[in-house]
Structure 1
Amino acid sequence: GLGTMARHEQGIHRRNFLAGGAAAGGAALLTGTGLATPAAAAEGTAAADGTAAAEPISTVTPSDKRYQDLVRGYNQRWSAEPEKICLAETTAQVQAVVQSAVKAGKRLTVRSGGHCHEDWVFNSDVRVVLDMAKMNRVYFDAEKNAVCVEAGAQLLNVYERMYRGWGVTIPAGICFQVGAGGHVSGGGWGLLCRQLGLVVDHLYGVEVVTVTVGGSVKVVVATREPNDPNRDLWWAHAGGGGGNFGVITRFWFRTPGAVGTDPAKLLPQPPAEVLLHAASWPWAEMTKERFARLLTNYGNWHAEHLRPGTVHDHLFSALWLTHKSNGYIGLVTQLDATVPDARQVLDDFLAAMAEGVDVASEPMVTHMGEMAAMPEFAEPRKMPWLQAARYASTTNPTLNDPSLNSDNKSAYYRTAIPATQIDAFYEHLTRDDLANTTANVQLSSFGGRINAVAPDATAFPHREAAYKAAWSIWWTDPAQEAASLRWIREFYHGVYAETGGVPVINDVTDGCYVNYPDIDLSDPKYNTSDVPWTELYYKGNYAKLQQVKKTYDPRDFFRHSQSVRLPSA
């Protein structure tokens, strides 16, 4: 998705461009089910910051009418049949749920937003799902001098609270229901990424419920302070992905270098207004040569503007390479309207994209992947920032349709796409054996302020990438699954045929995004390179992530099919 794709298995959830009462058959305070020690039960009556009394933990079992809604996320390919879903409201309640699962030897996963590409949260092994929906507050924590975001908070609510309250934001993703837990921990990004960096570049601290080697459950707070003994746990949650080390309960945000105690000055301010533009080119006139020119223009512009420090940091664009059955290829661009000569900056970018394409662009009259049709933006429109963020978050029909199944893949690029790879893009986007208007690859801006941070300063390693490619396809009818998966797999493997079917780390490509997880990267049938999935996601940071795993989750209690492995594994 446009950009944030995220995971918390804590689950994974997603995404992008900007981008729970007691149950009728089972709730109470979990006393009687082994879930509340006296201390935890006592703590559970008040939130950790002492501001609100907590309800008893809500527990949903198969007899509860809510059960079927709570055992699946937004990707309908994945569902589970757990014994129960626990909706905790405080850190102490999370601790009690985890302790009970550890004691009983039961597999536990965590859902924050539910935007999960793979089955990390919902699978046949899971007995207890910890649903973070009730831990959704956003508030200023004077003790930490930072803005606290609980793991179950959804992104649009985070933006609303931060911006209405203090005029600030974090540069997170577009899809409004993505939960903070997975999105942030995977290194979330969105429409402001070139201007403000990644979400984790503003992450001050994280609270994590962990399991010791002896099986006791601890609450660990880790910050980026140099003398913090748990600093490595903060580092790991700044891009290391969800579901690896413990249950994330809350994050604290304060931009490095921010001073004072006024929350309005501790995080970046988004632009007061943005320019939003959408254009498209008809597939009917898109020859192979014109298609190649468009992709090359996009890649070259981003490679040339990788480094931060120019007006181009304030521009974000997504090029939607749809299957020809859609009818059009789309380009959506957002620019900070307050920069000097903003309209000229935008016009120059659009001219660079169109150079040599020799087909006039048209209004964007069809949906593009996760974006709605935007014909009214054929002429750039100036909008207040929050209005634009809400527009991008809520008008994307594909992302917000809860009936869909999907599959996704990703790659980072450092240069323009090579000619042989462009040939594969064209071949698979013009195939006649598929007619799915949602099938697409989205190229989206990276670089700018993201590039200002060293690859090992946080667990997120892809700091030298100029832009990202994200493959997506959605379907409703289960009968369409085989053909949909065949198309996306053959496409991806075809593009990277020369490097074993995956975007290995080299001068051109830079691996994959952990928040767009792809189980095929672990499968020798689809990854025939000698580069493991761990390197594609984490590059040189994986060994350190393994040491963090050993320290904070030595029993490998928190795991999924692509979780960080213990060093001995």
Structure 2
Amino acid sequence: MFVLNEFTRRGFLGTAAAVGGTTVVTTALGGAPAAQAAVPEAADGGACGARTALVKVDRVDRRYQDLVTRGFNGRFRGRPDVVYVVHTADQVVDAVNQAMAAGQRIAVRSGGHCFEGFVDDPAVRAVIDMSQMRQVFYDSGKRAFAVEPGATLGETYRALYLDWGVTIPAGVCPQVGVGGHVLGGGYGPLSRRDGVVADHLYAVEVVVVDASGRARKVVATSAADDPNRELWWAHTGGGGGNFGIVTRYWFRTPGATGTDPSQLLPKAPTSTLRHIVTWDWSALTEEAFTRIIDNHGAWHQSNSAAGTPYASMHSVFYLNSRAAGQILLDIQIDGGLDGAEALLNDFVAAVNEGTGVEPAVQRSTEPWLRATLANKFDTGGFDRTKSKGAYLRKPWTAAQAATLYRHLSADSQVWGEVSLYSYGGKVNSVPETATATAQRDSIIKVWMSATWMDPAHDDANLAWIREIYREIFATTGGVPVPDDRTEGTFINYPDVDLVDERWNTSGVPWYTLYYKGNYPRLQKVKARWDPRDVFRHALSVRPPG
């Protein structure tokens, strides 16, 4: 069976989840689970009602295996001495102080979707589990929406939409935790219209450790006169596990005024119009495949400016390996937009123009929240994975398209994919130093992955993804260096190979690939707020010097 790529995990399991309860029309191209309700408004830093005490789970506790095996990537399984299940910021302070007193290296887990083994590192002796901190409410004192890091995206979307009709432009998978997603500058289906989620971050509450080794809470905001502002800035794309432990986010769109909560974040669409377009590998010659790739890139080069009529359109092109049987273009747009159907039809026609191949197209319309919560995540047992990423400022070259075809069309038992996400739009209207999310001039975001079941297949799968990535970026040392064609890669697609000179021969350090010119500024934040380098992992911001 095919590796469960993002589409199969979130839609193909099936297309019924994507189009269930709607009228589905399949043609040839001629031309949620119940989520926790929002809690009542709470005082700053406080809670509504009594909270559960700090829970400390050691290796003999029956809950231990559940807590240490909930990470996304089955290649990594940690064995910490203790897992602290926390419910408040004060409990996080307590847990950190206990771990520090015991000399235990600390890692933090909220949703558990990290692609690398940062939390499951054998050196980590204490894990602070944030999954029980999941409140979502409006904080009138800050005129902003408070979201705790253990809340999932689905819970956050549900609360914001049902209570206030608003949303944040975050990711597509409802089971992903807010905690790490926001820290990396997360993006999703509304990012071309509204920017990345970090563009709407007003404030953070963070537990930091000072030079004496004691933990404390700090609130940092985007206000120009906030003495802690740089700590806020570092959390707008600086990545997780770097500066401290976020215990609360506050969201408000820059420039939003007044006290009406329904006017302080972007309005959610009323419905989602979706087209799922598939081309069978059996019908794709190299010429047809290359034409599709060229058309797709050219369209994005012409339709990725802020304010484009396609601003609310999000697409993911799953270039699956031949073993999958097909490549798939998953497109959605605000169903309430005038001419939405025609816009999607025109996009599909533009991508397919001149190929001589007629793809199958499934069309559906659903209410926005139902469609958003339907993208449920399921690895189907394919829980061993390796990921890599890139930002494209320009379409693929002819040589890169040929490399894609050669690797993806090969008769191989490796189940891999190269996913191309529509990008740009409002994202690119923000200066690259305004937030820690530095990539502000790209039209396509790339995620490459291989996913498998059996540990015996580790070597073959790792070799496949490493080779395709290195060959695609062969002219720049095997990695997408920031230049006129590419803009580095995404910190929420962490890849420890970028530190390895066997796979990164560019001479460009890993941190420039992730942060471009923002890295020295992040180092200054690190020096001030984590002077003992308590929060660290293989790709963490290094102390200066």
Give the structure-2-normalised TM-score. 0.91
SS, match of residue 428 in structure 1:
helix
Post-superposition shift, 1:215?
1.1
Aligned counterpart for 2:367 among listed residues 362, 373, 384: 384
Aligned-pair identity in percent equals 46
How far apart are the structure 2 equivalents of 1:384 and 1:314?
15
Aligned residue number for residue 34 of structure 1: none
Asked if structure 1 preserves the Cα contact closer than 8 Å seen for 2:382 and 2:451, the reply is no
Aligned residue number for residue 268 of structure 1: 266
How far apart are the structure 2 equivalents of 1:314 and 1:48?
35
How far apart are the structure 1 equivalents of 2:300 and 2:148?
34
The aligned amino acid for 2:426 is R
Matching of residues 31-430 of structure 1 within 5 Å: 48-72=45-69, 73-363=71-361, 378=362, 380-391=363-374, 393-394=375-376, 396-398=377-379, 401=380, 404-430=383-409
Asked if structure 1 preserves the Cα contact closer than 8 Å seen for 2:106 and 2:126, the reply is yes
Aligned counterpart for 2:522 among listed residues 545, 548, 552: 545
Post-superposition shift, 1:103?
2.2
Aligned residue number for residue 522 of structure 1: 499
How far apart are the structure 1 equivalents of 2:248 and 2:292?
42
SS, match of residue 310 in structure 2:
helix
Asked if structure 1 preserves the Cα contact closer than 8 Å seen for 2:183 and 2:238, the reply is yes
Q: Deviations over 1:435-454 (max 9, x none)?
A: 24x41010011101101111
How far apart are the structure 2 equivalents of 1:250 and 1:560?
22
How far apart are the structure 1 equivalents of 2:62 and 2:428?
48
Post-superposition shift, 1:116?
1.1
How far apart are the structure 2 equivalents of 1:500 and 1:403?
31
Q: Deviations over 1:132-172 (max 9, x none)?
A: 01111111111111100001111111111111111111111
Aligned residue number for residue 559 of structure 1: 536
Give the structure-1-normalised TM-score. 0.87
How far apart are the structure 1 equivalents of 2:67 and 2:291?
46
Matched, 1:445 2:422: yes
Matching of residues 464-543 of structure 1 within 5 Å: 464-543=441-520
The aligned amino acid for 1:390 is L
How far apart are the structure 2 equivalents of 1:340 and 1:427?
41
The runs of at least 4 consecutive aligned structure 1 residues that moved more than 4 Å come to none
Asked if structure 1 preserves the Cα contact closer than 8 Å seen for 2:58 and 2:64, the reply is yes
Q: Deviations over 1:285-342 (max 9, x none)?
A: 2111111111111111112122101211111111110001111010010011222211
Post-superposition shift, 1:2?
6.0
SS, match of residue 245 in structure 1:
coil
Asked if structure 2 preserves the Cα contact closer than 8 Å seen for 1:47 and 1:53, the reply is no
The aligned amino acid for 2:57 is V
Distance change >3 Å, CA 62–CA 402, structure 1 → 2: farther
How many residues align? The count is 506
Asked if structure 2 preserves the Cα contact closer than 8 Å seen for 1:311 and 1:339, the reply is no
Aligned residue number for residue 40 of structure 1: none
Q: Deviations over 1:193-221 (max 9, x none)?
A: 11111101110001110011111212111
Q: More deviation in 212-221 or 454-463?
A: 212-221
How far apart are the structure 2 equivalents of 1:161 and 1:122?
31
SS, match of residue 521 in structure 2:
helix
Asked if structure 2 preserves the Cα contact closer than 8 Å seen for 1:274 and 1:383, the reply is yes
- RMSD of aligned Cα (Å): 1.5
Aligned counterpart for 2:432 among listed residues 437, 452, 455: 455
SS, match of residue 314 in structure 1:
coil
Aligned residue number for residue 28 of structure 2: none
Post-superposition shift, 1:502?
0.4
Post-superposition shift, 1:51?
2.0
The aligned amino acid for 1:209 is V
Post-superposition shift, 1:397?
3.6
SS, match of residue 116 in structure 1:
coil
How far apart are the structure 1 equivalents of 2:82 and 2:124?
10
How far apart are the structure 1 equivalents of 2:247 and 2:382?
29
Q: Give unmatched runs, 5+ long, in structure 2.
A: 8-17, 19-42
Asked if structure 2 preserves the Cα contact closer than 8 Å seen for 1:2 and 1:318, the reply is no
How far apart are the structure 2 equivalents of 1:334 and 1:50?
38
How far apart are the structure 2 equivalents of 1:48 and 1:195?
32
How far apart are the structure 1 equivalents of 2:162 and 2:215?
37
How far apart are the structure 1 equivalents of 2:308 and 2:410?
40
How far apart are the structure 2 equivalents of 1:314 and 1:192?
6
Q: Deviations over 1:445-469 (max 9, x none)?
A: 1101101111110000111010111
How far apart are the structure 2 equivalents of 1:100 and 1:452?
44
The aligned amino acid for 2:68 is V
The aligned amino acid for 2:394 is T
Aligned residue number for residue 35 of structure 1: none
The aligned amino acid for 1:411 is A
